[in-house]
Structure 1
């Protein structure tokens, strides 16, 4: 694995803080008190949708300060464009999401920092292409950023086990991504009653049970479809795409330190 975007201590801390804050934004229904305004105000998703980009901007700023050079920007641009072009092929129909396998493979080859940025830029670019810009987009960007980040943090394994590992990760990531996105609108879904509804102030395990019932009833097949799509695409294309990305990484020499030698003509003049 090549760490195309180096994570310095400051950027690592910023990434950890933003990830914890992001999880709280997604999971707040499990800890809301009975009188919590969030549980009564349907504008809360819009507030969070504005807050998430600000949090991610902090991370992107810290990352760009220490490890985002021209070659990394170029690679991000290429892979984000490819991902944006791939997403309409599935467009989420029956869970057929054709973009996440590229985030997994890109994060695996180029490292967790690159994977985090790639996930957010790819979902943003694809939303512009598909007309999917809305209050849900920041949640999707953060979820996809975590998918790429996690792929970059996977342990090293023997070559024959790498594709199966990534396929298994793609399945788990596809399911978790769907469940997290469900949390962003579940408390405010209208026309739901009984075991499907969010109850402010209920014990966390009770709301988690209700959320599980909601997810199974409304989006299980889409989430399974996304997970299966990731497994199939990574299993079929993983070996070839990994080899291509690693060859591009070697040619770009991301890991080589840039040095500036004295011009030859100057050395000859001084020697004379």
Structure 2
């Protein structure tokens, strides 16, 4: 088992670098190669998470939070980019740390797409939402995210960053069908998603203002009481 873990730590970054090199030198297939890079990133985080000492009750909590985040997308499916999923992942990362936040985000995307529809966009959503939780965990102890305004700004920024990451997927997928992608096409694509990204940012702010302090208090109480994710 130790050999497998060591191989994962060393092998996955090497695979990602090889795929990145192929993306540069084998440009006509960079969409498929980019999927490989995304998958390698997910596997790298999963390997790091698996190496941690974690109890069954902690896994249950992660599964529950990922399920809540996933189910949260469904009632708002008719409202483009408006959902509590990003908010839940952000708060989970703040309280339980970067790696747990990434896992919750990635699993939430995968689980919710089982109802809303799987496709080549799923790995990109897994990474995008995973990075929400991961970055929240990394910055959780900074003065910036300890303040209320810092958390609001964080939610607004990720409302746009999430959309931009998915825009990259959309542009790469269009190029697979022979479409010419130049800077004008890229700017047009990003401009077309600006309203949806803005709605995502606003919904993150609204959910945090309404529920943020309560969610943080409840999850922090569980963490202290049961010694979770220490």
Is this a same-fold pair by TM over 0.5? yes
- Unaligned ranges ≥5, structure 2: 1-5
Alignment of 1:1-272 (within 5 A): 37-38=26-27, 40-41=28-29, 44-91=30-77, 93-128=79-114, 130-156=115-141, 162-189=147-174, 197-199=180-182, 207=183, 210-216=185-191, 218-254=192-228
Encode CA deviations 1:8-67: one digit per residue, 9 max, x unaligned.
xx8xx88x959xx59x97xx7xxx5xxx543x34xx434433553344223212321223
* Larger Cα-atom Rg: 1
* Separation of aligned partners in 1, 2:143 and 2:52: 31
User: 1:97·1:226 contact (CA, 8 Å) conserved in 2?
Assistant: yes
Shift in Å, 1:93 = 2.6
- Unaligned ranges ≥5, structure 1: 1-9, 200-206, 257-272
Q: Which deviates further from its counterpart, 60-69 or 136-145?
A: 60-69
Encode CA deviations 1:124-174: one digit per residue, 9 max, x unaligned.
11111x232111100110111111111112253679963321121011011
Q: Report the RMSD for the aligned CA atoms in angstroms.
A: 3.1
Q: Which has the higher contact order (CA 8 A, sep 6+)?
A: 1
User: Which has the larger share of helix?
Assistant: 2
* Separation of aligned partners in 1, 2:173 and 2:120: 14
User: 2:144·2:151 contact (CA, 8 Å) conserved in 1?
Assistant: no
User: 1:80·1:121 contact (CA, 8 Å) conserved in 2?
Assistant: yes
* Separation of aligned partners in 2, 1:139 and 1:233: 24
Q: Any idea what SS the aligned residue of 2:112 has?
A: helix
Alignment coverage as a number of residue pairs = 217
* Separation of aligned partners in 2, 1:63 and 1:187: 30
Q: TM-score, normalised by structure 1?
A: 0.69
Question: Do the aligned partners of residues 75 and 63 (structure 1) sit closer, same or farther apart at CA in structure 2, a change above 3 Å counting?
Answer: same
Question: Do the aligned partners of residues 162 and 233 (structure 1) sit closer, same or farther apart at CA in structure 2, a change above 3 Å counting?
Answer: same
Q: Any idea what SS the aligned residue of 2:74 has?
A: helix
Question: Do the aligned partners of residues 160 and 17 (structure 1) sit closer, same or farther apart at CA in structure 2, a change above 3 Å counting?
Answer: closer
